[in-house]
Amino acid sequence: MDNIRQLIQQIESLKTSLHQKDFLLTWEKNRNELELVLHVAETLRLMYEKNISTRCFDSGLAVSQFRDNSTRTRFSFAFAANLLGLEVQDMDEEKSQISHGETVRETANMISFMTEIIGIRDDIFLGAGHTYMKEVADSLDDGYQHGVLQQRPGIVNLQCDMDHPTQSMADLLHLKNTFGSFENLKGKKIAMTWAYSPSYGKPLSVPQGIISLMTRFGMDVSLAYPEGYGLIPEVVDIAQNNANTHGGSFEIVNSMEEAFKDADIVYPKSWAPFHVMEKRTQLLQHGEKEGLKSLEKECLVNNARFKNWECDAEKMKQTKRGEALYMHCLPADITGVSCAQGEVSADVFEKYRIATYKEAGYKPYVIAAMMLTNRFHDMPDLLNKIMDRKRERIMF
């Protein structure tokens, strides 16, 4: 219990609030705001372990809108909402009036009468996901200002074309606890590298989230990919500026081996090239099925040129003491397990399998923290009240 009280004191020392502020992009938040979410997440995690009920809503909805498939993030969102006492309502666009011409402005207001939080995953169309979330935000502002809504729900980005903040923040919390503190992350080298996958069209938001966030904490970030597999230039510039500002470093190399050399952490993950995602978005928006088939065939052929971009035991030997922490957002393409050849060899993945599961286990608490900090102004006061009421989550 002392650990929980100490965390609450750390939260109080930050002297910051995210009350009624959407969480869309990590680079829109300052360092204290990021630490606020992470400390609250850690507090909720410890409370759960100590069987302390953290329910602070008697009623209300948490609406999830997944415009792409999901396992970890979908269930993490449901966990987070339930942990705080909210009921989850999944918005299925096929069962709504959206297909009949209902506008974003109308939909956003109609789903929000009893809604505290809206979680949105929209990562399919490059240049569209983040834009859509901002349109929903503007629509909610309009509804609240004109008295349609009695409260303005907060928005949590569950993944867009630009960023995947719930993933990168969970990864950061995993790193903080692995290495002991945020301070200990300074100077640690993380290799965010492209890896081969027998599929194409994977979003850019995970690598972009990693390079833009870890450079905020003084880490040495090495971004590696084959020529032609670059990320959104705007986000790459953000990562470089962060490194310049916060004392770490940022480099781009075209060799997985070079990125792995003396790395403390490796994060091999497939993604589609920026220019491919631009073209794919245009084809999807125009419904050009034949063009999509042709693009997929072309990209799979190109991917196959780089099958050696696999995280295997030999490459891991190049890392610091040959014992770098392996990370992945999951599911990983595991050679000989989930595919014939993929991002990571079976032996390497098995060695770090439990660690990656623990990494994923931080996401529910990060989402819950984003929800909680959005809805309540004074986090130390709220968390102390939760502690003082001494309500058990499960009565033994």
CATH number of the structural domain spanning residue 199: 3.40.50.1370
Q: Is 266 helix (H, G, I), strand (E, B) or coil?
A: strand
Regarding whether 334 and 186 lie in a shared domain, the answer is: yes
Same domain for 271 and 239? yes
For residues 228 and 274, state if they share a domain.
Answer: yes
- Specify the pLDDT at position 98: 64
Provide the 3-class DSSP secondary structure of residue 75: helix
The answer, yes or no, to whether residue 285 has pLDDT greater than 90, is: no
Beta-carbon contacts of 268 under 8 Å, excluding residues fewer than 6 positions away, are 191, 193, 194, 195, 256, 309, 310, 311, 326, 328, 343, 344
Residue 351 lies in a domain: yes
Among the listed ranges 85-94, 137-146, 305-314, 379-388, which one has the minimum average pLDDT value? 85-94
Q: What band does 118 get if pLDDT is binned at 50, 70 and 90?
A: very high
Residues 8 and 156 in one domain: yes
Number of separate domains in the chain: 2
Please report the pLDDT score of residue 93 as a whole number.
74
Does any domain span residue 394? Answer: no
More confident residue, 93 or 194: 194
Residue 288's pLDDT band (boundaries 50, 70, 90)?
very high
What confidence tens digit (pLDDT) does each residue in 312-335 have? 999 999 999 999 999 999 999 999
Q: Which candidate, 196, 214, 178, 154, places its Cα nearest to that of 375?
A: 154
Q: Is residue 136 part of a domain?
A: yes
Q: Does residue 116 sit within a domain?
A: yes
Residue 94 has pLDDT above 90, yes or no: no
23 with 29: CB under 8 angstroms?
yes
Q: Does one domain contain both 51 and 77?
A: yes
One domain for residues 268 and 314: yes
Residue 273, in any domain of the structure: yes
Shared domain for 377 and 326, answered yes or no, is no
> What average pLDDT does this structure show over 216-221?
98
| Residue 272 domain-assigned (yes or no) | yes
In-domain check, residue 395: no
Q: For residue 300, what are the domain limits?
A: 167-360
Q: What is the chain's length?
A: 396
In this structure, the answer to whether residues 206 and 353 fall within a common structural domain is yes
Q: What is the pLDDT of residues 119-171, one digit of tens each?
A: 999 998 899 999 999 999 999 999 999 999 999 999 999 999 999 999 999 99
Per-residue pLDDT at 317: 98
pLDDT digits over 21-76, tens only? 999 999 999 999 999 999 999 999 999 999 999 999 999 999 999 988 899 999 99
Checking if the pLDDT of 99 tops 60, the result is no
CB count in 10 Å sphere of residue 262: 14
Collapsed DSSP state (helix, strand, coil) of residue 236: helix
pLDDT surpassing 60 at residue 173: yes
**Closest by alpha carbon to 128, among 292, 237, 282?**
282
Is residue 279 domain-shared with residue 367, that is, in the same domain? Answer: no
**C-beta separation of 376 from 19 below 8 A:** yes
Higher-pLDDT residue of 97, 148: 148
* 352: in domain: yes
* Residues 6+ positions from 48 with CB-CB distance below 8 Å: 54, 83, 365, 393
237 and 303 part of one domain: yes
Q: Per-residue pLDDT averaged across 194-200, rounded?
A: 94
pLDDT of residue 284: 85
41 shares its domain with 174: no
Residues 251, 377 share a domain: no
